Amino acid sequence: MSGVGPILLVGCGKMGGALRSGWLEAGRVVVVVEPGANAPEGALPSPDALPPDLAPLAVVFAVKPQEADRVLPLYARFAESSVFLSIMAGRTIAGMRGLLGGRAAVVRAMPNLPASIRRGVTVACAGPSVTEAERGLCDELLKAIGTVGWIEDEELLDAVTAVSGSGPAYVFLLAELMEAAGRALGLAPDLARTLARETVAGSGALLASSEQDAADLRRAVTSPGGTTAAALSVLMAEGAWPKSVAEAIAAAAARSRELAG
C-alpha cells in the first residue's frame, strides 16, 4: 500500500462511497467531507471542520461537476503537499488547476457505473507536475473500484467517456429491448425479464473470463443458417448496429467535448 497518510474524500455518493469502502478494506484512513443527508458516519459537513494539521496523501473529488467552481478552491491549501484526484466528468485538468492553483498536481479519471460494485473500468490521465509516486498512489486508489488504465492525451477522455462512461446505458438498453421483444413474442413479463437480464449478465461474465475476442465469441455461438445467424443478419445489416453504434458513441464523444468546454 503506497503511503501511510490519510485520504481526503470530498463527496461520498455512489462512486465516492464505493471508493471509500475499498480503501477502508485495504486499511487506509479516510476522512470524508459530505454535507448530504446520506453522509457516512463520521463524515464532516464542510472543509471548515477539517483538522488544521491534516496532511492527506491525496484529495479526491467525487462531487458533481457543476459544484467544482465552488468546492475546489476550498481545498487549494493542500496543493503544496497532496495530489488531487478527480472523478468529475468533463472537468479538465487545466480548469481544475486554475481553481486549485497553477502548481497543483491533478489526476483526472473517468470511472463507469459498475464501479459501484467494484467491477468498473477507469481511465486516468496525469497532469503536469504529477510525480511517478503520486501517479502510483492514484492508480492504487482507483483499483479499489475495478480495472484501471492510463492515457497521456487528456483529449482521449472524451472517447473513454463515450465508450465506457456511457457504455453501461447501451448494455441496459439492450436488455430492455430484448425483454420487450420477448414479451411481444408471447413470453410472460417475468420470464422475458429474467431471460433478458440473465443473458446479458451471463454473456458479460463469459466475456470477462475469456481470452477470446468478442468477435470470436460471437462467431462461436453463430451456427451457419441457424437462429442466431438469422438475427445477426438483421443487426449487422448496412445501416443497422455497426453504423448506429458507431454514430451513438461519436455523438457521446462530441457531447463530452462540449461539456468540457
Higher pLDDT, residue 3 or 150: 150
- Rounded average pLDDT over 37-56: 94
Confidence band (pLDDT; 50, 70, 90) for 55? very high
- Rounded average pLDDT over 228-235: 97
Per cent of the chain over pLDDT 70 is 98
Kindly list the structural domains of the chain, giving each domain's residue range(s) and its CATH number in brackets, ordered by start.
7-157 (3.40.50.720), 165-260 (1.10.3730.10)
Beta strand ranges found along the chain (DSSP E): 7-10, 30-33, 58-61, 83-86, 105-110, 120-126, 146-150
Give the span between the Cα atoms of 13 and 89, in whole angstroms. Answer: 14
Condensed to tens digits (0 to 9), the pLDDT of residues 79-91 reads 999 999 999 988 9
pLDDT confidence of residue 236 = 96
pLDDT confidence of residue 260 = 75
pLDDT tops 70 at residue 1: no
The three cell numbers locating residue 105: 498536481
Angle made by CA atoms 13, 10, 60, in degrees to the nearest 5: 105
Per cent of the chain over pLDDT 90 is 92
pLDDT tops 70 at residue 2: no
pLDDT confidence of residue 207 = 96
**Residue 16, phi then psi, degrees to nearest 5:** -60, -40
- Looking at every residue in the chain, the average pLDDT score rounds to 95
pLDDT tops 70 at residue 3: no
Confidence band (pLDDT; 50, 70, 90) for 102? confident
Confidence band (pLDDT; 50, 70, 90) for 257? confident
Q: For the ranges 11-15, 38-42, 257-261, which has the lowest average pLDDT?
A: 257-261
pLDDT confidence of residue 41 = 93
pLDDT confidence of residue 90 = 86
- Rounded average pLDDT over 99-112: 94
Is this prediction's pTM over 0.85? yes
Q: How many CB atoms lie within 10 A of CB 67?
A: 13
pLDDT confidence of residue 5 = 85
Residue pointed to by grid coordinates 475499498: 22
